[in-house]
Structure 1
Amino acid sequence: MSRIILVRHGQASWGKKDYDKLSDLGHEQAKVVGRELAERGIVPTRVISGSMRRQRDTAADVVAGAGWEIEPATDSAWNEYGHAAILTAYKPAYRSLTLMKADLARTLRPHKAFDEMYAVATERWVAGEHAEEYDEPFADFGERVLSGLPPVEENLGRGETVVVVSSAGAISWVAASLLGGGAPVWTQLQRVIANASLTTLSVGATGPTLRTFNDTSHLERTPDLLTTR
């Protein structure tokens, strides 16, 4: 049976001006993924990542950690959706990061307040009722992500493995789609998927099947490595 291993990127720079950059912990998480896959005897025929920096850097660290002699390829179909665009479509004033931080600080529970606000912003995007306000409506995001699967499947030989480095939203959409759950399932999955987690698809004559989702066993040996953002 052939398989596709979807890897969520390592921890990025949450709360920083440039989120699309791995933290030091994120780099270490990615190398742990590589070592884990090598210990499992996995040697992929290809490594693919989205074109975002955090995805490309994770792919490079996975390859280095595993000791594979593979040059990762990129495919923007595996890129994440635009978090900032979704938030500012809901709260245009928050194009100013300074204003948003000030408003959140006044709540005296900034992290929880942000999570609550972002959940509402995401629900608005998913609902599709204001699609014209987004550069990439939710329906387009889903179609784009799933368009990344056929090129991987078509070139996947019997018994081969391909590693794809992507992000929480994209990986969760693949999983939700294979489960037949759509947006409601996606919403739940993307809330729990961990950085540098492994999601495995087996690929047979009838197409891909979800085998595992959000495997973090390789990170749990060192609890500090287990993060969701």
Structure 2
Amino acid sequence: MGEQLQLYSYWRSSAAYRVRIGLGLKGLAYETLPIHLLRDGGEQHGEAFRKANPQGLVPALRHGDRVLSQSLAILEYVDEVWPEQPLLPKSADERGRARSIALAIACDIHPLNNLRVLQYFEHTWEVPQPRREAWVRHWIEQGFAALESMLADDPMTGRFCIGDTPGLADCCLVPQVYNARRFHVDMAPYPTLLRIDEACQALPAFEAARPERQPDAPPA
């Protein structure tokens, strides 16, 4: 398993952000292969990238002759191949809870405000930008209200989503909080989410994964 890891990524992709955090938490080095989601109609639609990932989505992780897609599948793959510094806790209860939080974000919140949905609204239905942004805020706020309730009073919640070690759930939460701030979501109703996000941002793996720190990020 000594082959170099290569991550097809876009600097502001929430899903790629998750994987960057996870690789950082595990101390795994990787090469970034930028896929610009807007340039020339979107490089993810090009033949070269479609050969790597027929879905035409980032992230995708190349490990030797294998290419994996879907951020949560990638994170669980690297957790199994490199079990040191695990992203999932030991007990079945905690692992189930971590996956519940991660899936609530990756399956129920993020897909409703990702780029291809907003582009469809804009180009096919000609939905004005204020209404597109209101759509994004609505679904983030609804999802965050549920997450706040899940995390606020649960004994499994610690400094991070599960206890005092960051893992899979935090890899998903932090990019979604970043996205919420992009769309001017009022975060005051979600103090637990804010507290966990702040604890995560203090760690080098989260700092290094920030969109602005990526090689394909535009100049500030």
Q: TM-score range by the shorter chain?
A: 0.3 to 0.5
The answer to which structure, 1 or 2, has the higher relative contact order (CA under 8 A, 6+ apart) is 1
Higher strand share: 1
Q: With the length of structure 1 as denominator, give the TM-score of the two structures.
A: 0.41
